[in-house]
Structure 1
Amino acid sequence: MLNDVYFPSYEVTPLTMAIIAKHDENGNINTTVLEEQEEYFVQYSPSKVIDYACKFFGSSLRGRQDGTRDICGITHKAPISVDPASGMYFFPTIAPTNPKCSWIAHSHIDQVLKGPDRFTKVVFNNGKSILLEVSHGTVLNQVHRTAQYRYLLDNRLKYLQRQNADVVAEPFA
């Protein structure tokens, strides 16, 4: 159900499935946040919502994009990890500098289906779905790139955890 209340800010959580660009009655870009059980309107663009979420976890959208570039070389429409500890990985549907850019949570996707014309239907694990004005191939590419980035970052984090466990396990001399 859609809350008609505009929230001044919104915190992205592991329950967030998508952050979708929408035009309001005046033609301004706002955001619909789609969660597993609810939807919210936010008076900021989707990329601003993502940037705020990244800052909550100690970085920024730009910092997360730079990290993606350094880890796997993706420079355009880079997937990001808002918070790798809680598995929050998102990818943009188009260039994040475009106010019409929406962000999709990788872990909530069940299927990516061809829609009419150049639209793509994203079906989430809970059965909800959205129609994106982006080609099927583009969305599939973003899903695969996010999976690759997620794999590489998770391996780095696991390596560091093993290194820390080895240091803690060593007896003091």
Structure 2
Amino acid sequence: MDLVYKKEYEVNPRTMALVAGYDDQGQIITEIIESDQCFYLKDWPSKIVDHSCRYFASSLEGRISGTKQVAGFTHKPPIVISQKMSMYFFPIISPKRKECSWIAHKYIRTYKGENDHSTTITFTNGTSINVPVSVGMISNQIQRTAQFRFTLEDRLKYSAPKNDVVAENYA
């Protein structure tokens, strides 16, 4: 397969994963897996995630801090890049490490552990990736992301103004 590189990228609703890898010179690159295409960026995944968070008026550090506030998760916390676009991602290792890959929660169909203690994740479009972490860790990250997503969406639902209150304020 030919390597197609792009210069910049924002995570979007089609993004399924940002997978860390290495180029021929041993530099970390990111394989961007979208629902309909794959390509590479000459940056590490967490840098791309940070850039995308900044596009939506925050930062990776800010999103991590928000997750800690909402759900209490401090290690390998899932984040929301855009709640309105339902873009929830989780890291497979510490997001401070350049080798950290990020997975979109909503696209996971199945996952299974392999004999080498890695995990194969299959996405809703049938694409699969293998990540170098245990199935227990992936299972935990999926559950934590679901809990965070539910808590945040529930919090936002109950803090939204009622239509009559909004109408009253503008009458």
Q: Partner letter of residue 170 of structure 1?
A: E
Q: Partner letter of residue 44 of structure 1?
A: D
- 3-state SS in 2 of match to 1:58: coil
- 3-state SS in 2 of match to 1:4: coil
Kindly indicate whether the alpha-carbon contact (under 8 Å) linking 1:18 and 1:33 is maintained by their aligned counterparts in 2.
yes
Kindly indicate whether the alpha-carbon contact (under 8 Å) linking 1:106 and 1:143 is maintained by their aligned counterparts in 2.
yes
User: Cα RMSD (Å) of the superposition?
Assistant: 1.5
* 2:99 corresponding residue in structure 1: 100
Percent identical pairs in the alignment equals 44
What is the deviation of 1:3? 6.2
* TM-score between both structures, scaled by the size of structure 2: 0.95
Kindly indicate whether the alpha-carbon contact (under 8 Å) linking 1:121 and 1:129 is maintained by their aligned counterparts in 2.
yes
Residue ranges of structure 2 left out of the alignment (5+ in a row) = none
* 2:129 corresponding residue in structure 1: 130
Residue ranges of structure 1 left out of the alignment (5+ in a row) = none
Query: Is residue 26 of structure 2 the alignment partner of residue 27 of structure 1?
Result: yes
1:1-173 aligned at under 5 Å gives the runs 4-161=3-160, 163-170=161-168
Kindly indicate whether the alpha-carbon contact (under 8 Å) linking 1:3 and 1:40 is maintained by their aligned counterparts in 2.
no
* Count of equivalent residues: 171
- Cα deviation, 1:116-159, whole Å, max 9, x if unaligned, reads 21100101011111000000000000000000000011011111
Q: Partner letter of residue 128 of structure 1?
A: T
Q: Partner letter of residue 10 of structure 2?
A: E
Q: Partner letter of residue 17 of structure 2?
A: A
- Cα deviation, 1:10-62, whole Å, max 9, x if unaligned, reads 11111100000011111110100000110010011000010011000010000
- Cα deviation, 1:92-134, whole Å, max 9, x if unaligned, reads 0000111111000000000111122110010101111100000
- Cα deviation, 1:63-91, whole Å, max 9, x if unaligned, reads 00000000010001000000000000000
Give, in whole Å, the separation in 2 of the partners of 1:145 and 1:165.
32
Kindly indicate whether the alpha-carbon contact (under 8 Å) linking 1:3 and 1:39 is maintained by their aligned counterparts in 2.
no
Give, in whole Å, the separation in 2 of the partners of 1:36 and 1:3.
19
Distance 1:28 1:69, change over 3 A: same
